[in-house]
Chains A and B, each alone.
Chain A
Amino acid sequence: MRGRMWKLAIYLFLLGFILNLLGIVTHVVVSSFAKRWFGKPLPPAFTTDWFTYAWREFELSHVLFITLFIALAVVFIALAIGFPAAYVLARRNFNAKPVLLLLYFLPLLIPQMTYGIPLATTLYGFGVGGTVLGVILAVLVPMVPLAVFILLPFFEQISLNLEWSAQMLGASRMQIFRRILLPLMLPGILTAGLLVLVNTISNFELAFLLAGGGSQTLVVALYYNVFAGGVRPVYSIDAMAVIYMCTVMAVLLVALRFVRPTQMVFRLDGKRN
């Protein structure tokens, strides 16, 4: 009985959440197709002009390309240097480990605005501020630790006995990595990659502080256009927001086909049965 009430409460919350999400999304989508819209439940006439307008005026093909390029570069580098670090932090004990963990944790724990401002000053000083490279370097600061902390529990779930057995049977480090760790870590790598990717695309503060004219990511371009008030019709901004949503959603849905978020923590025990 109590279990049923519990379930009911969950479903009621989900219903509320979905309705609210639907309201928010539909409003922007409807607005992006509206010719004009004020104070009525629905706009009197619809048009797709705002999409062509947004695509042309905001140079969206360029912005999209830059965004994806930055995101993929960040995912690749974050995984490449985060993976080995997560392995060592999960498997080894050493004196400096708590300090190291704290050091990795700090970029996640300190607001991006806090270190973003001095970081931007530094990077502009080195002449990479306002460039694509500058944005990649800055966005990586929280993404490397994010990758490490997502991968860490996945490593911890893989029994050390597997590595020991392999070592016993004469496998080299490389073989252990390639034949045992990599396949078992695949869900972890996908999860980390997915979360880093989505977080990079939607990262605002660091990309905002470092973006110049040609290196604006989609969110930053969108934000700037919101404040180009009066010049840009709100419908065209909503059209751009819809394009943004579709881009990220496509990435997210493709990624969700490979990663089950419910199994973010890999269960070796569950696999055996």
Chain B
Amino acid sequence: MARIRFDSRSELDLVAILCLVPSLLYVLAMFVYPFLYGIYISLQPKKRDAGMFSNYVAFFNDAYQYNTIKTTFMLALPTTIAVVLVALFLAYGMRRGIWFERTITTILVLPISLGVVFLSEGILGFYGHNGWLNQLLLAVGLIQNPLELTHNSIGVTFSLFMQNFPFCFLMLLGYISGIDPSLESSARMLGAGPWTIFRRVMFPLIAPGLIIAFALVFVMSFAVFPSAVMVGQPAGSTRTISIAAYQQAFEQYDMSYASAIAVIMGLCQLAALVVIVLVRRRMTIATTMGVGKR
């Protein structure tokens, strides 16, 4: 077999390259090219005489626009932390199986099947001003005035939690139940308590999966669009950056400005990603030692 050697570690032969090519071409043509094209058109503002960066300047000079970054972070970060912590707690507790495991997993996965519009309608109805929750709490006498849980950031956070939790939970459950149980048994044999087992044995093994889950949930939360429109207050407290981009693109038909906002959004994501990768790098060292292979 013809072997293309880049260096002594390289194990790419012709078949391997052929295996990679279709998906690689796809990603290059449908993701990298449009992405670069987006950056290019963002530098071609609608007003011809304005400078190359006038879209970016306009964005950062307009509080109505640049505040969307803060709004988005304030929605995405707490949601992500909550989703990951709860999913970790549940998945860890369920790693060796519990009663009705299959039913429970099915129920936890079900919100995926609801879809964002159904979820929004349900949240608006159930948690809304006249919703069942408020009616119940009023009837019991726990509250005097209905709680305002929708059309604000609480509603959006809630909607995001319901959307992202099942995905995160499934990932972590798969990851955690894939860890060799004998590691845990050995630790217990050697006298480690549950907390020590978690902290010294299991957590380092879970960490890489946890980081990936964190990154994915953060991305999904950061991009929040439909639920911010439907459950939130799209003109005010939940005007996220994707709403700003969408409005420029499909309401103002200014693709150049819209692309600039999209690029800014991407940069914020990448900044978060860099932080996550740095944390991951610190953690994988522990993992490699823990598993003892590779």
User: A residues engaging B (CB < 8 A)?
Assistant: 2-3, 6-7, 9-10, 13-14, 17-18, 20-21, 23-25, 27-28, 31, 38-39, 41, 80-82, 84-85, 87-89, 91-96, 100, 103-104, 106-119, 121-122, 137-138, 140-141, 144-145, 148, 153, 157, 173, 198, 201-202, 204-205, 208, 218-219, 222-223, 226, 234, 237-238, 241-242, 244-245, 248-249, 251-253, 256, 260-265, 267, 269
Contacts and interface: CB of A to CB of B under 8 A. Distances in A.
Given A103-B24, A226-B230, A261-B173, 19 more contacts: A2-B194, A10-B94, A23-B122, A27-B125, A28-B125, A80-B22, A84-B22, A85-B20, A92-B16, A94-B6, A95-B6, A114-B266, A115-B31, A115-B262, A118-B259, A119-B38, A205-B223, A237-B121, A245-B115
B167 to A, nearest CB: 8
Contacts of A145: 27
Contacts, number: 279
Interface of B: 6-7, 9-12, 15-16, 18-20, 22-24, 26-27, 30-35, 37-38, 41, 86, 89-90, 93-94, 97-98, 101-102, 104-123, 125-126, 130-133, 135, 162, 170-171, 173-175, 177-178, 180, 194, 215-216, 219, 222-223, 225-226, 230, 242, 245-246, 249, 255, 258-259, 262-263, 265-266, 269-270, 273
A250 to B, nearest CB: 9
Identify the interface centre among A82, A84, A256: most chain B CB within 10 Å of its CB.
A84
B116 A202 contact: yes
Given A27-B122, A121-B41, A223 B226 contact: yes
A13 B86 contact: yes
| Majority secondary structure of chain A interface residues (helix, strand, loop or mixed) | helix
B76 to A, nearest CB: 10
Contacts of B177: 262-263, 265, 267
* Candidate in B19, B89, B119 with the most chain A CB atoms within 10 angstroms: B19
A125 to B, nearest CB: 9
A202 B115 contact: yes
A256 B113 CA distance: 12
B115 A23 contact: no
